[in-house]
Amino acid sequence: MLPFVGVSLEFHTPHTLGARERAECLALADTVLHVDRDWFEANFDRYDEVILYKRRRTGALIGVTGLRLIDTEHEGDGVRLFYTGSVVLHPEWRGRGLVPWAGLRAIARHGTTARRLYWLMETDSWRAYALAAGNTRDCWPRDAAGAPNPLYDHVCKSVYRDEWDAERRVCRPIAQRRLRPEVAHIPPAARASNRHARAYAALNPGHAEGDALPVLVPLDADNIAHFAWRMCLHAARPARGRR
């Protein structure tokens, strides 16, 4: 059975989330982050939707993703950004295709438009970067030697504003939230065996200090098809320790 068959996705507007659900989201985030509660709450309220991942059988919360839709213009073309933040999954459910599945559901909900579609996220760990770089045919940036992308530069400047460091091409650390050191760390084995881990280390050398690397993914037909295929490959792997 595909693992995500036993998982439900719930799309909520932030104001509909009660105190209990917010507390559960914060507790889940606290497993990977040192995060200020007030900052977390305010940041949640800036999303258009919050996606909750829950076990169908028990209703237990196993993941959360914030979604914000950003419409912008670039060189005369309309662009819609699917910005995701506050992405947290319970460790037992990572690498199982759940985030790509939620992304495809979000595109189905909000992708009917003449604008070109892109997925935008800032990655503060090599695993988050590998989610995009390892599951799509095309994304920016791919490597430190890659040619500049005008749309990427425009998006980073307009979305992140003062947080964007144009010289180092990363987002500056946020004092109110920081990955736990054991999560931010790139193990030597990953550096040796995973090209995306090596690329991330080169693109974002300050990740251990809290720098985050924005990633922009075109949501064209080819990329979406490849994303869906990779999602099924991940999901079809034998589930370990989940009953």
Q: How far apart are CA 86 and CA 50, in angstroms?
A: 9
Q: Answer for the pair 53, 9: CB distance below 8 angstroms, yes or no.
A: yes
Which DSSP symbol is given to 48? Answer: S
Could you give the number of structural domains in the chain?
A: 1
**Per-residue pLDDT at 237 exceeds 80:** no
- Give 188-216 pLDDT, tens digit per residue: 999 999 999 999 999 999 999 999 999 99
Indicate which CATH number applies to the domain containing 180. Answer: 3.40.630.30
240 falls within a domain:
no
- Beta strand residue intervals within 3-149, DSSP E: 7-12, 33-35, 49-55, 61-74, 77-89, 116-123
Of 218, 217, 213, give the one whose Cα is nearest residue 163: 213
Q: Determine, yes or no, domain membership for 183.
A: yes
| In the chain, % of residues over pLDDT 90 | 72
* Domain membership flag for residue 231: yes
Whether 203 maps to a domain, the answer reads: yes
Among 233, 51, 222, which residue's Cα sits nearest to residue 139?
A: 222
Q: In the numeric block, which tokens belong to residue 36?
A: 């200020």
Where is average pLDDT lowest: 38-42, 116-120, 143-147, 231-235? 231-235
Structure tokens at 126: 């090599």
Give the type of residue at 180.
R
Q: How many CB atoms lie within 10 A of CB 197?
A: 21
Single-letter amino acid code for the residue at 174: I
Helix (H) or strand (E) holding 204: none
**pLDDT tier at 136, thresholds 50, 70, 90:** confident
Is 61 within a domain?
yes
Cis amide prior to 238 (ω within 30 degrees)? no
Structural domain including 20 reads 3-235
Position 76 in a domain: yes
Asked, for residue 98, whether it belongs to a domain, the answer is: yes
Residue 235 has pLDDT above 90, yes or no: no
Provide CB contacts within 8 A for 112, sequence distance 6+.
Answer: none
pLDDT in tens, 45-89: 999 999 999 999 999 999 999 999 999 999 999 999 999 998 999
DSSP reduced 3-state for 59: coil
Residue 241: pLDDT over 60: no
Report if residue 242 sits inside a domain.
no
